[in-house]
Structure 1
């Protein structure tokens, strides 16, 4: 189901070196898509952390 975009998302997360205010690093997403992207990025960072 398509939903209107309500969130500005960093394409490359700031924690991974993405520029906070660079327009080329910003995209608009609906809330469910933003939440899914953030969850995926968080899981990826957890998997990369040294044990």
Structure 2
């Protein structure tokens, strides 16, 4: 029965770590722009200039 209490404690601790990581990601702006990356694949690439070759 003691192992059940230990496992519940570990799972709660792990859930709190993931919750803290989620709030950190939100606060640091990880999910600010969700639209541009999905549209970038649809845009044409700019032609290479002769200086880059």
Alignment TM class, shorter chain as reference = 0.3 to 0.5
Structure having the larger proportion of residues in strand: 1
Report which of the two structures shows the higher radius of gyration computed on alpha carbons: 2
- TM-score between the two structures when normalised by the length of structure 1: 0.42
Structure number with greater CO (CA < 8 Å, separation at least 6) is 1
Structure having the larger proportion of residues in helix: 2
